[in-house]
Each structure stands twice: as structure tokens, then as C-alpha cells.
Amino acid sequence: YYDVLIVGAGHAGAQAGISLRQLGFEGSIAMIGDEKDPPYERPPLSKEYFAGDKSFDRILIRPASFWEERKIDMLLGLRVKAVDPAGRFVTAGDREIGYGKLIWCTGGSPRMLTCNGADAPNVHAVRRRDDVDAMMAKLDRIDHVTVIGGGYIGLEAAAVLSKFGKKVVLLEALDRVLARVAGEELSRFYEAEHRAHGVDLRTGARMDCIEVTDGEDGPRATAVLMEDGERIETDMVIVGIGIVPETGPLIAAGAVGGNGVDVDEYCRTSLPDIYAVGDCAAHANGFARGAQIRLESVQNANDQAKTAVSHIMGKEEPYHAVPWFWSNQYDLKLQTVGLSIGHDQTILRGDPATRSFSVLYLKGGKLIALDCVNAVKDYVQGRAHVISGAVLDQAQLADANVPLKEVGL
């Protein structure tokens, strides 16, 4: 039995444990995680870690000794299969572990292709350290990589691989990359950057299946076959087509949810004393104008964990953190603030040809989000406008010579 049981040892789980002790929680705490490692940062998996620029030790969220010092029992390599909300225990392996409060922080599993060949051993997702280690172990021996999916993870992986001199084909089924998260200006800019770096980036690309060939070491993917009959030869396939939230045991236990488990402004699920936090939690986000969404970001994982913990500690501090996110590709640092969902206008600030510019998203004349490429000042100064929700002077917003903090009404 633990007073607080955290399920999932990722970003949200780690922050929950850290915050509980920071706020003086003296009860017993355990964290159950199905990976073998203590919590580590996931963003570098498609960036510095994949590129070999950061070792695993450097991406640990806290040194391994931290958890012992804070008296947080780490039950690693263990997967929770069931939750009993009436009996207040979870089943993990052959153990039943009781709880006072449960914080569900399980993130999501990579959505995989369902076509023929999708389960070949050289078809990889990018979610866990193990995924990336498996790819890194093979990189020396391969030339051609096909990346499926033009979201942030696919694009970041393509950037690293092209830096390694691999011949990369990136296939995006929609008519532009980043279509779900960004405006067209940003998509076109990144498409051009990748092509300039030698990536064969294709939009509107309809794949059919993966060709698998039996070799000396067993079966492996050797080509991606397109609907139009084209055969793209490949030595490795990387799939970055989103995640499916890991909510099975909670939903089976009766928690309300669909795409993620539903939580209120304190991150409470519909089950007593069970909170859900991070990628798996669907919440009404004020910056999405109240829409029920899941956010897949470190910011959201950390801030929701703090919200749940402060509620456990008896405070009522509803979740209302400003969303922010980043992506590194080549020498481009993208920083975003706010949520562009539902925008009805975009303003381009600065010239993409200079490789330093911002895309501003407005709704009803109000600035609701910014995507800033190598434009740290815009990112820092735009934040206050996203929070205030004021209607701003559009000519000034579009003029990169007027600092955003000086833009008036």
C-alpha cells in the first residue's frame, strides 16, 4: 500500500513525485513504470540523443539516486494491467498494490501502421529509449531510410538522419507536413528546408504496404510500396504517425473517456481519488477556448502533474497553464506558444528567407498562438499577448521592426 501511487514513470510521473516532496508530502509514494529506466526526457529521442550529442545519463530527469533520497519507491519494468477503484488497488505483474490516491501518467503508445509488413523488425517507432537504441545500433550498416509521417517527430528524425548522410525519403499522406499543428506558412518553410538538406520529402504520398524480404538474419523490410505502384527501396522504416493514449485499464475500470481519459480542471478522473495527467489526459483547455483536448507536450505533463499534486495537498488551483512547445531541426529552433486550433487568420512576421520569422495565429482579431523560428524575442514577448487576449494593431504585428512587447491596441 502507498499513500500515493503514480503509474507511469515518464515526464508527468516524475514531476508528480518531485512536486509531492517539494510541497512537503510526507506519506509513502511509489512510481510504477513499464520501462526499465527511471524517468528520462523524451524530446531528445528524436533530437540530441538520436544524434549522439547527448548520452542517456544526460537526459535523465533526475539522477537515479534522487528517487531513493526522496523516498519514492521505483517499481520499474512493471506494467499495470488493471485498476480496482472500489478496492483501491492496481494489479501489476502478479502483485496487487493498494493506494490512497492514484495518479495515472501513462502517456501513449505509438500508433503503428496496419498494412502488410508493418511488423518487420526494421520498422521502428520513436517513443522509448529502446526504440532509438535499436535504430542507432543499425545506423552504421544502412543507407536508405524511409520516414512515414511529417509531424514533428518524423521531421526531427529526418533532420538527424540527413546529418548522418543517410538518404532519407519522408512520406506525408496529407498535402503538407505539420498540417495538424501549424499553419501553411510554417509547413511550406519546413518542407523547403528538408528538401534543401537533401531529404526526398513527399506530400500527398499514399503508401500501400511494406515489402518484406527473408534474409540471413530473418525477415526485414526492403521497400515501401506506394499506391501508384512505385517501389521505394529502404533499409529501415521509421513510423511517426501519432500516439494512442494508454488508458485501457482505467477505461476498463469505468473511467469516462474516449480519446484519452477525461479529467476536470484539477486533473481528477470520474473515478474517486484517481487523477490523470499528461499525454493520456483529455481536458477542457482554456487556450483551446474550452475544447476538450489532449496535449502532447512536456509543458502539459509537468503543469498538469503540479495541478494534481496541489489538489492532493488540499489546494484548489485549476489548470490554466499557457501551452508551449519546441522543435529542433537542423539549425532551426522552433518555439511555439498558445494553441492555434480554430484560428481564422495568420500573419507572417519577418521573412522566412532569412530563416528567422514568426507565424502569428489570430481568432476574432486576438492573438491566440505564435510559431517562432529562430525568433526567441517574438516567443518571449508574444506570450503576454496570448495570455491577455487583447485585439492588437495588425500592421504592427506584421512589422518585425516593432518589438512585440511594444505592439499596441
Residue ranges that bind ligand FAD, judged by CB under 6 A: 7-13, 32-35, 42-43, 45-46, 79-80, 105-107, 126-127, 153, 246, 278-279, 296-299, 301, 325-327
Q: Output the smallest distance, CB 177 to ligand FAD, in A.
A: 15
Query: Which residue's CB comes closest to ligand FAD?
Result: 10
Q: Which residue's CB is nearer to ligand FAD, number 222 or number 327?
A: 327
Q: Which is nearer to ligand FAD, 7 or 392 (CB)?
A: 7
Cα gap 224→159, rounded to integer Å: 20
Element containing residue 68 per DSSP (H, E): helix 64-69
Please tell me whether residue 19 adopts helix, strand or coil conformation: helix
* Region class of 157: left (phi > 0), else alpha (psi between -120 and 50), else beta: alpha
Q: How far is the CB of 119 from ligand FAD (least distance, A)?
A: 19
3-class DSSP assignment, residue 21: helix
The phi-psi region of residue 342 (left if phi > 0; otherwise alpha if psi is between -120 and 50; otherwise beta) is left
- Least CB distance from residue 280 to ligand FAD, whole Å? 6
**Closest CB 295 distance from ligand FAD, rounded Å:** 7
User: Is 294 or 349 the residue whose CB approaches ligand FAD more closely?
Assistant: 294
Helices (H), 204-350: 248-252, 298-312
Q: Which residues contact 185 (CB under 8 A, 6 or more apart)?
A: 346, 348, 352, 359
CB of 225: closest distance to ligand FAD in angstroms? Answer: 26
Q: What's the min distance (Å) between Cβ of 402 and ligand FAD?
A: 29
In the bound state with ligand FAD, the residue whose beta carbon lies nearer, of 81 and 195, is 81
Nearer to ligand FAD, 239 or 362 (CB): 239
Residue closer to ligand FAD (CB basis): 325 or 379:
325
What amino acid occupies position 53? D
* Least Å from the CB of residue 116 to ligand FAD: 26
Which residue type does 328 have? N
In this complex, which beta carbon is closest to ligand FAD, that of residue 327 or of residue 356?
A: 327
| Whether the Cβ atoms of residue 318 and residue 344 lie closer than 8 Å to each other | no
Burial degree of 239 (CB within 10 A; 0-12, 13-18, 19+)? buried
Cα four-point dihedral sign 44, 47, 52, 54? negative
